[in-house]
Amino acid sequence: MVLRPQLVTRLGRIVIVIDRTDVPWADVRRSIALASRVHLRHTPPRVLARSVMALLLGPPAPTTDAIEWTAPPACPDDAALEARIAAYVDTADGATTTQATVRAVAAGFEVELVSVIDGEPQRRTLAAPDCEVLADAVAVVVALAIDPAAGAPEPEPEPEPEPPPSGAVVLPVAPPSNLRGVRDAPPVAALDGRAWDVGFRLDGGYGSGVAPIGSGVFGLAFIVGRHRGSIEAIGRLWAPRSFDEPNGTYGARVVMGTGSLLGCLRARPGMRVEFPLCAGLEAGALSAAPRGLTDGQTQRYPWVGAVARLGMRVRLRERVGVVLALEGGAPFVRDAIDVGGADRLWTTRTASGRVLAGIDLRWLGPGTARGR
What tens digit of pLDDT does each residue of 25-74 get?
A: 555 555 555 545 544 455 555 555 555 555 455 544 444 456 788 888 88
DSSP 227-295: TTEEEEEEEEEEEEEEEE-TTSS-EEEEEEEEEEEEEEEEESTTSSEEEEEEEEEEEEEEEEEEES-SS
pLDDT of residue 346: 80
Query: Is 159 a residue whose pLDDT tops 80?
Result: no
In the chain, beta strands by DSSP E: 7-11, 14-18, 67-70, 96-105, 108-117, 120-128, 196-207, 215-226, 229-244, 251-267, 273-291, 299-315, 320-331, 336-337, 346-347, 352-364
Q: What is the mean pLDDT of residues 220-228?
A: 91
Greater model confidence, 92 or 315: 315
3-class DSSP state of 48? helix
25-39, 47-61, 90-104, 158-172: range with highest mean pLDDT: 90-104
Q: How far apart are CA 17 and CA 10, in angstroms?
A: 9
Q: How far apart are CA 74 and CA 132, in angstroms?
A: 9
pLDDT of residue 5: 39
CATH 2.40.160.20 fits 192-364, yes or no: yes
Nearest to 356 by CA among 210, 273, 236: 236
pLDDT of residue 144: 83
Q: How far apart are CA 242 and CA 343, in angstroms?
A: 17
Query: Is 258 a residue whose pLDDT tops 90?
Result: yes
Residue 61 main-chain phi, psi, to 5 deg:
-65, 135
Q: What is the mean pLDDT of residues 87-110?
A: 79
Greater model confidence, 176 or 82: 82
pLDDT of residue 16: 47
Query: Is 108 a residue whose pLDDT tops 90?
Result: no
Greater model confidence, 230 or 213: 230
* Total Cβ atoms within 10 A of residue 203: 22
Alpha helix segments (H runs only) across 67-148: 78-86, 131-146
Nearest to 100 by CA among 115, 85, 122: 115
Greater model confidence, 296 or 94: 296
3-class DSSP state of 49? helix
Domain ranges of the chain: 7-57, 67-146, 192-364
What tens digit of pLDDT does each residue of 231-246 get?
A: 999 999 999 988 888 7
pLDDT of residue 320: 93
Q: How far apart are CA 311 and CA 230, in angstroms?
A: 13
Among residues of the chain, what percentage have pLDDT more than 90? Answer: 24
What tens digit of pLDDT does each residue of 1-15 get?
A: 333 334 444 444 444
pTM confidence score? 0.47
Q: How far apart are CA 178 and CA 147, in angstroms?
A: 49
Query: Is 326 a residue whose pLDDT tops 90?
Result: yes
Query: Is 179 a residue whose pLDDT tops 50?
Result: no
